[in-house]
Structure 1
């Protein structure tokens, strides 16, 4: 039966996509726009089939309600027929197709007959614009006829099968768009990995009866994360009751996501339309699971005023630090953390490398908050070329506000960058995919929770550090010179007697100059205020590596000009011990100022997993050099003979 269902789904998909594109859209719209037309009509036909059995009764019922407000009619229809949406138009696709007159007006009238809670789908799809273009090209009637014949009812196509069909249609449509699809379509292999790891820690709690779970995506896109997660939960426990929630601001993505959920039996209000950073439309809710693939490097200047205002509220979602307005990824990371259920929630959030080590004040503060609250469970490095819109390195942050005992105070890094298979055909920037075996390897390493080739177990302190300014203490000798005299000549207390004092100090130990200057000045009958002493010491100072370490008249170390470094000291190490082992052997006389140290943090993922390559033996290199030299000599001989 499963094979038959798969074959039926494949056949239906082919009819939806290829027949529509080849017969009716070719030469009318650009190939990359096929999906913009095929997807809305697929949704329309599916919804029509789902409502077919009750439509006549619903129309009569709604008529009987008179001027009742629309939201009350929605409630009444739901109570009477168990429908979350409905249509009160006398039209359907077959009836419209049967009359070759005013097709565009009839079709728009039909769509306007849907209940107000899904009316925004057609607005987001820009359906009137699509209808107008097809009508102007004399293709609308044929498209309507074509879709009116597709059997997409729940008895012939189950919700899960319809989901597969819609997924395939979306994929083919996005295949034409290529890289542009990456803005709102997350590859399913990436989602499956996120879901597998997310649920791996909850296997026991997901078993049994009366299990309730909620899933949320604040950047829902086409709804793929919600649907994949929902399906995965039901595979773990067929009896689980799953409620999904989402928010999306892009019109086209919102329409696809809401439609995809609807055609698979979801709620009309599962995904709400709006900018998550400006306003959390699910502000009163927290969730068991959160998944998100926010924009990489997304500029949030538009939301800046609102976000900064929200950040002023202590304990609010953005109160832990603000990143640069050119990259809002960490705002979504904070938002996802804030949406975890107080009784225990887990999140999987995609990012590029920037949130791992961005050294700005805001990202540092956000990471420190995540460390302090022990919210980071794991971070997974994905293969490059995994996403449609970018080929750069990407990571999945696994957050958990109720870790199992053995994972508390620990952070697991998982390097899955080498676990991939080449795609038969690339799509946009996506050239690689993670097979089921690749994903199982990651989940297995996550569950074992021990160091291995692809796993490292660390503590938050391992990622914290102090940047300590390090200076080298000067070694100075005292030398008399005309330049030294000239440097002091502009002083009001300069005199020829002072010059005689200076001559007498030539070759003296620089550290003893304060006492020697006083003694020399007294012998010459002149005064030696501290200002003059400091000026003489500076004027006569000459670097001398054989001299003792220099100290000023107060005994403070004198720092060498032009020599300063910043030493990064792990927070887990004693400062003096670190300097003794890592700095002083290479810079004798170096000193540091702990009071000027700056605390920071980073997650140097690549460095942690770096394995140095063994250099080639010198004998092998010499042999290659000799071979190449011999070949060159032979070539030169042949040229000279030639």
Structure 2
């Protein structure tokens, strides 16, 4: 039997929900608890049958009932009074319409305590998990509880093993993801991507007596975690143990229920980033598909005060992907490997010096990144964007040391016969083999390239440019030299003028220490300053308006055509002579001074001439050798920067950009081809004109 025959049967239960007026977006919350219910029942019955076979038919007849019940409870997979003591299943309860409500309630309360908690049988506000109690109340109000339960009771999963039931779960959860508008990749990872991740993991492990510990820090309903485990178990005899954590109540409950029917699995509930339930554990394999672009503002204080030292840098609060990445790296043992699904933002978001860039730099500095694989677009069910697999390895092969492989698998797919939400493509078996084989060989191909890790580093060199006029002169050359505190000569920052008048458009000022104001308009001198004068001064723009600063012996203004401050001499021997002082700024300030013992409240207007500087930065290729790197920066500056400048801080950034590496330019068309096309268009237009006449 193929378990997927039940996919349509399970999904058909939604027809009753639709007919009851329940919104499509709410269907998953109605279906999850009942899916869990039939999954639990079928597995408990299968477990009971296996126990009978294990004990033997004759011995089973002799065993005391109480002892038998204790044996079942010792299995740790759950218990139900109706199933084991009354030999009644959900379908039996549904046969009696009159007693159904009472029997169904007793059936649910017949489960062991943990199962009741996970199903939400006795849920109170804030402790719902699957919230079957709330769902039952809504179905009762619609008068469809019995009909809905009967549909689920017809689904018999007893003949199927854990792996097969997990496969069915994946298909059902995928449809839930389609309609519940989850964040891209948050709930469900497609089966073909899980298969690729499994093959990558399998290519890096060996048969061993050592237990293989697999961890997923955002396990959701367990699709990826259990899917990888099942595929590893098909290829290796090595014992596996799975660990997972998730803080979505319903998905955690599904994963927890699934885990109880596996030989060795531990699933915990909670936010991994603030409450790591496996804080003392390290793992051989870490896998995850953490949510993309999801804010961590709701628990920012906990992250900022984290004492585990797993977060080297804190990325933008709008996207927590790189928090999960740092957490996963901290969970790897000394030989651990990891495969983590991300969107493109983790490759290049954030400028040099940003937390995102620093996290990437830390990862490359520690040489933990073996490869990054770009997957096709339209691979996930609720997003069409490119996604990427980060391959982490704490025990890289010698020929991989300080190197990173970039695999462009964007074209390694087959088209689906029928779209599934946004998913139009899948990575088939042959393409999976090709990708994994490329990774294993670790050689350059047309779609894969290997780089020294420093290829992805770059210098962000900040500089301060000195603006010059048309003749290349800066006002800075007019600043007098003065000894600083260290006894070194340096130029002062500005030249202060003592104006006799300032004119700028309709504004004229001749008083530069103001103590008087219009008492009819303003309550105080401070009000006059804040409500009128400060705004007037701030609106003065010598680049847009003719601004003239007059002093005892000269006038100063800015000549836009020459891009220079001009000094017009007004003394007898030089009267009318204009002198260009170089590019600079005319700075006018107004400040309010409180009264002292000797002086009243006053407004002081001051004028300064300063050089004009601009902050800028240049992106320059990085060299690992410090001296070589500095020489490369100097060579770049001498070639491209023509204005005078001073060096500022140099910041090393890291960016991994697939587009730059695998970009293929479109060949330019020949001039002859373009001219022929233009000629044809002209002929077509001429024909149209003739028809119009």
Asked if TM exceeds 0.5, the reply is yes
C-alpha distance in 2, partners of 1:280/1:62? 41
Deviations 1:62-104 (A, max 9, x none): 9799xxxxxxx9xx757x7534322235564244224323523
Give 1:407's aligned residue. 400
1:265 aligns with 2:262: yes
C-alpha distance in 2, partners of 1:478/1:369? 44
C-alpha distance in 2, partners of 1:174/1:477? 64
- Deviation (angstroms), 1:127: 0.5
- Deviation (angstroms), 1:245: 0.9
* Among 290, 294, 298, the residue aligned to 2:290: 294
- Deviation (angstroms), 1:608: 1.7
Give 1:535's aligned residue. none
Give 1:162's aligned residue. 165
Give 1:616's aligned residue. 669
1:393 aligns with 2:392: no
C-alpha distance in 2, partners of 1:266/1:101? 41
Q: Do the aligned residues in 2 keep the contact of 1:198 with 1:398 (CA within 8 Å)?
A: no
Q: Looking at secondary structure, tell me which structure has more helix per residue.
A: 1
- Deviation (angstroms), 1:361: 2.4
Deviations 1:245-272 (A, max 9, x none): 101111222123233444x5366x6221
Give 1:281's aligned residue. 277
Give 1:179-198 correspondences, 5 Å limit.
182-198=185-201
Q: Do the aligned residues in 2 keep the contact of 1:33 with 1:177 (CA within 8 Å)?
A: yes
Matched residue of 1:107: which SS? helix
1:572 aligns with 2:635: no
C-alpha distance in 2, partners of 1:148/1:419? 42
Give 1:97-496 correspondences, 5 Å limit.
97-123=94-120, 124-153=129-158, 156-177=159-180, 182-202=185-205, 205=206, 207=207, 210-237=209-236, 239-262=237-260, 265=262, 270-310=266-306, 313=307, 316-318=309-311, 320-342=312-334, 344-357=335-348, 358-359=350-351, 361-470=354-463, 471=465, 476=471, 490=498
Q: TM-score, normalised to structure 2's length?
A: 0.70
Give RMSD over aligned pairs: 3.9
C-alpha distance in 1, partners of 2:255/2:579? 76
Q: Do the aligned residues in 2 keep the contact of 1:245 with 1:271 (CA within 8 Å)?
A: yes
Matched residue of 1:616: which SS? coil
C-alpha distance in 1, partners of 2:211/2:296? 35
Q: TM-score, normalised to structure 1's length?
A: 0.75
- Deviation (angstroms), 1:230: 0.6
How many residues in Structure 1 have an aligned counterpart in Structure 2?
549
Q: Looking at secondary structure, tell me which structure has more strand per residue.
A: 2
- Deviation (angstroms), 1:390: 2.2
- Deviation (angstroms), 1:402: 1.3
C-alpha distance in 2, partners of 1:566/1:391? 35
C-alpha distance in 2, partners of 1:328/1:28? 37
Structure 1 ranges of 4+ moved more than 6 A = 54-57, 60-65, 178-181, 496-499
Q: Do the aligned residues in 2 keep the contact of 1:445 with 1:454 (CA within 8 Å)?
A: no
Runs of 5+ unmatched residues, structure 1? 66-72, 480-486, 500-523, 525-537, 544-558
C-alpha distance in 2, partners of 1:277/1:404? 31
Give 1:41's aligned residue. 34
Cα pair distance change 1:302/1:563, threshold 3 Å = closer
Runs of 5+ unmatched residues, structure 2? 53-59, 121-128, 475-494, 501-550, 555-572, 584-609
Matched residue of 2:98: which SS? coil
- Deviation (angstroms), 1:214: 1.2
- Deviation (angstroms), 1:291: 1.0
C-alpha distance in 2, partners of 1:586/1:46? 68
C-alpha distance in 2, partners of 1:169/1:83? 26
C-alpha distance in 1, partners of 2:434/2:104? 51
- Which range moves more in the overlay, 156-165 or 214-223? 156-165
- Deviation (angstroms), 1:488: 9.8
Q: Do the aligned residues in 1 keep the contact of 2:32 with 2:250 (CA within 8 Å)?
A: no
Give 2:510's aligned residue. none
C-alpha distance in 2, partners of 1:459/1:638? 65
- Deviation (angstroms), 1:234: 1.4
- Deviation (angstroms), 1:284: 1.4
* Among 577, 596, 609, the residue aligned to 2:649: 596
Matched residue of 1:341: which SS? strand
C-alpha distance in 1, partners of 2:7/2:385? 32
Matched residue of 1:245: which SS? strand
Give 1:576-587 correspondences, 5 Å limit.
577-578=631-632, 582-587=636-641
Give 2:690's aligned residue. 637
Q: Do the aligned residues in 2 keep the contact of 1:179 with 1:428 (CA within 8 Å)?
A: no
- Deviation (angstroms), 1:416: 1.5
